[in-house]
């Protein structure tokens, strides 16, 4: 029970500092804004074209039916089509998540050096707190702040998308698109945040001052992107998605899109939307395990460093 209290106490204190010091929260906000803007701007480009297609003249209806589509499909297309296009925009907008990988390590790397700069580190080491619990608390605290900010940004994105849809077409974001975004945020986006945050905090174990840690933090960010692209490139490269990660690819594959359905009916191979190759679930699990494994190794190294250098 003491261990839980200690970890939570460190986490709660670090959570407050993450907001007061600002860097981790600022980077998460920046990433959220970039990703949201990236998706919405792409959507804005397509909206006028889409809005004009909503006018369904008798002539157009005849051609629609002649092509093998049904009126029920058209009704669903009117409701879900914009959301589908928004989701497609995610593929490119999602690339901006790499900003989190690049900047989060530098933003969170001062969590441990800050205790040394304040002069509190020795005091903390004089308590029964172990190095492992200290590290766990620090990582959890910063993650907590970053996740909370990320969720706020997701809410902001939903609000902006809904306003955009209502103002141009008088329909809201469909539930299937909302679910997709929730999935991609929690399953995919959170993985970026966990990686960027944990790498930063753990790497901070070896630096005595914040200033000394910033540049290595940026290097770690660059390395993170390199690692991500090397380790998590999706199996299919014919769709030009070689820069996205395996999980995003998996989520898009499983998104039940009306556009995908229409494309299939029309005999067009859409590539991604469940019509050509499937990503196996086991590969996504492997991706998660890889991230957990690498972070665990980093945590062990940080723990050993504290033990060796500070008898912590």
Partner 1 sequence: MIIVSQLTKTFGKKVQALRGVDLEIGEGMFGLVGPNGAGKTTLMRILAGLIRPTSGSATVLGNDVSTRRGKQAVKSVLGYLPQELGLYPDLSALEFLEYIALLKGVGDRTERNRQLAEILELVGLAADAQRRLRTFSGGMKRRVGIAQALLGEPQLLIVDEPTSGLDPEERVRLRNLLSRMAERCTVILSTHIVEDISQSCSDLAVLEAGRVIYRGQPAGLIEAVRGRVWSLTTGGAALDPRLVVVSTLHVQSGVQYRVLSAAAPASGATPLEPSLEDGYLWLMQQSKKNGDGGV
Q: How many Å separate Cα 200 from the centre of its chain?
A: 17
Range in contact with partner 1 (rule: CB under 8 A) among 7-15, 223-231, 269-277, 289-297: 7-15
Select 55 or 126, whichever has its Cβ closest to partner 1: 126
Among 17, 181, 249, 273, binds partner 1 (CB under 8 A): 17
Q: Which two tokens stand for residue 14?
A: 């670090």
Residue 300 as a binder of partner 1 (CB under 8 A): the answer is no
User: For 279, how many CA atoms within 13 A lie in the half-sphere containing its CB?
Assistant: 26
204: which DSSP letter?
Answer: G
Among 26, 71, 75, 118, binds partner 1 (CB under 8 A): 118
Spatial separation of the C-alpha atoms in residues 265 and 262, rounded to whole Å: 5
Range in contact with partner 1 (rule: CB under 8 A) among 6-14, 42-50, 85-93, 150-158: 6-14
Q: Which two tokens stand for residue 156?
A: 């902001």
The binding track of 126-145 with respect to partner 1, each residue x by CB under 8 A or -, is xxxxx---------------
Instruction: Provide the minimum distance between the beta carbon of 116 and partner 1 in the complex, in angstroms, as a whole number.
Output: 9
Select 74 or 303, whichever has its Cβ closest to partner 1: 303
Q: Which two tokens stand for residue 157?
A: 């994105």
Spatial separation of the C-alpha atoms in residues 177 and 252, rounded to whole Å: 11
Among 44, 123, 285, 304, binds partner 1 (CB under 8 A): 123
Residue 6 as a binder of partner 1 (CB under 8 A): the answer is yes
Q: What is the DSSP string of 123-160?
A: HHHTSS--HHHHHHHHHHHHHHHHHHHHHHHHHHHHHH
170: which DSSP letter?
Answer: S
Residue 120 as a binder of partner 1 (CB under 8 A): the answer is yes
Sites of contact with partner 1 (CB under 8 A)? 1-2, 5-6, 8-10, 13, 16-17, 20, 118-130, 311
């Amino acid at each position: 029970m003491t261990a839980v209290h200690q970890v939570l106490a460190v986490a709660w204190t670090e959570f407050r500092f993450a907001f007061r010091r600002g860097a981790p929260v600022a980077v998460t906000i920046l990433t959220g804004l970039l990703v949201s803007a990236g998706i919405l701007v792409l959507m804005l480009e397509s909206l006028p074209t889409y809005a004009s297609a909503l006018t369904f003249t008798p002539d157009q209806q005849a051609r629609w039916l002649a092509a093998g589509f049904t009126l029920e499909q058209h009704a669903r297309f009117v409701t879900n089509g914009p959301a589908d296009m928004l989701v497609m925009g995610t593929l490119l907008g999602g690339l901006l998540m790499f900003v989190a990988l690049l900047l989060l390590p530098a933003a969170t790397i001062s969590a441990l050096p800050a205790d040394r700069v304040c002069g509190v580190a020795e005091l903390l080491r004089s308590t029964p707190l172990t190095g492992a619990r200290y590290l766990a608390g620090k990582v959890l605290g910063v993650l907590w702040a970053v996740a909370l900010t990320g969720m706020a940004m997701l809410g902001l994105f939903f609000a902006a998308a809904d306003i955009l849809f209502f103002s141009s077409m008088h329909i809201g974001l469909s539930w299937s698109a909302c679910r997709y975004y929730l999935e991609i945020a929690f399953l995919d986006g959170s993985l970026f945040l966990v990686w960027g945050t944990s790498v930063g905090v753990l790497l901070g174990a070896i630096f005595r001052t914040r200033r000394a840690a910033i540049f290595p933090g940026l290097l770690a960010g660059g390395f993170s992107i390199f690692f991500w692209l090397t380790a998590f490139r999706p199996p299919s490269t014919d769709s030009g998605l070689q820069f996205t990660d395996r999980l995003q690819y998996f989520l898009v594959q499983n998104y039940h899109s009306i556009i995908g359905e229409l494309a299939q009916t029309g005999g067009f191979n859409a590539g991604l939307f469940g019509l050509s190759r499937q990503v196996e679930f086991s590969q996504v699990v492997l991706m998660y395990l890889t991230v957990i494994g690498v972070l665990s190794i980093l945590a062990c190294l940080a723990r050993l460093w504290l033990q060796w250098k500070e008898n912590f």
